[in-house]
Amino acid sequence: MPSHLRAAAALAALLCAAPAAASDLEPRLTLAGPGASARTVALTLDACSGATDHRVLDLLIAERIPATVFVTRRWLDGNAAALKLLLAHRDLFEIENHGDAHVPAITDRPTMFGIRTAGALEAVRREVEGGAEAIEAATGSRPRWYRDATARYSRDALTAIRADGYAIAGYSLNADMGTSLMAPMVARRVAAAKNGDVIIAHVNQPGRAAGSGLAEGLRALKASGARFVLLRDAETRTDDGPAIGPVVARSRPPGAAEPASGVTRH
Ligand SMILES: [Zn+2]
């Protein structure tokens, strides 16, 4: 087996097998009010670092499939042409915060999946703010959703990021397991998305097979009549604590009731 495949297989095994530390949280996010008449999903794509997967991005534009793209400062710095493309289709793409340098928002263990964690709340805040500043500079608007490098958080980090006004972008369907899966598997997982799923996948690994499977699965999902929504337009539900979105918090008229716990309106 080629070494990169061995590495991918090892990563897949790790992602499947590694239990979260008792204190770590991996919030699950779903759409709270998916369409009754059509299967409705939210596609979220991480741009961690590296390059741009045009098998995916070009398909989204051609098929007019909306996606919420989580970018790091690091990815923005190296992908000016792709950013221009995202900004040329603002109706299709929402750009949200994946941090500054792809550092997990975890303070209670030194590494997660081999990635060095923030280790302390101050470093978590720098990571979140660094991503936000880069996005504001690139797009003119502040991000409202945050997803850290591994979609896992220590409780203190989760609380701190929410206190800064972010909604935490969990997911319910892991389409590509960090781009470690082979194309047919990714295609099957995406095509089988359930009504209300928030799908997580990647748009920064053009050299991995997973991206072609993602494109194929999305094509099938669209052809089946599925509806795609952006997180900013969706009512979402998280299984972990209150998730009152910043848009709600800022737009709620004085004296209006708090939204129900666990439900984010965007
Ligand atoms: Zn990432």
DSSP the chain: --HHHHHHHHHHHHHHHPPPPTTEE--BEEESS--SSS-EEEEEEEE-SS---HHHHHHHHHHT--EEEEE-HHHHHH-HHHHHHHHTTTTTEEEEE--SS-----SSSSEETTEEP--SHHHHHHHHHHHHHHHHHHHSS---EE--TTS-EEHHHHHHHHHTTPEE--BSEESSTTTTS-HHHHHHHHHTPPTTBEEEEESS-TTSTHHHHHHHHHHHHHHTT-EEE-GGG-EEEESSS----HHHHHHSPTTPPPPPTTEEE-
CA of 79 to the centre of ligand 1 (A): 15
Percent of the chain with pLDDT over 90: 77
CA of 252 to the centre of ligand 1 (A): 32
CA of 204 to the centre of ligand 1 (A): 9
For the cut 60, the answer to whether the pLDDT of residue 259 exceeds it is no
CA of 36 to the centre of ligand 1 (A): 32
* Whole-structure pTM value: 0.84
Which of 4-8, 179-183, 256-260 shows the lowest per-residue confidence on average (mean pLDDT)?
256-260
CA of 150 to the centre of ligand 1 (A): 6
What's the whole-number mean pLDDT along residues 109-119?
93
> According to the model, what pLDDT value does residue 242 have?
52
Fold (topology level) of 20-265: TIM Barrel (3.20.20)
For the cut 90, the answer to whether the pLDDT of residue 187 exceeds it is yes
CA of 242 to the centre of ligand 1 (A): 24
Give me the residues near ligand 1 (ion), CB cutoff below 5 Å: 46, 48
Q: pLDDT tens digits for 230-247? A: 999 999 999 876 543 433
Q: pLDDT tens digits for 28-80? A: 999 987 777 789 999 999 999 999 999 999 999 999 999 999 999 999 999 99
CA of 8 to the centre of ligand 1 (A): 15
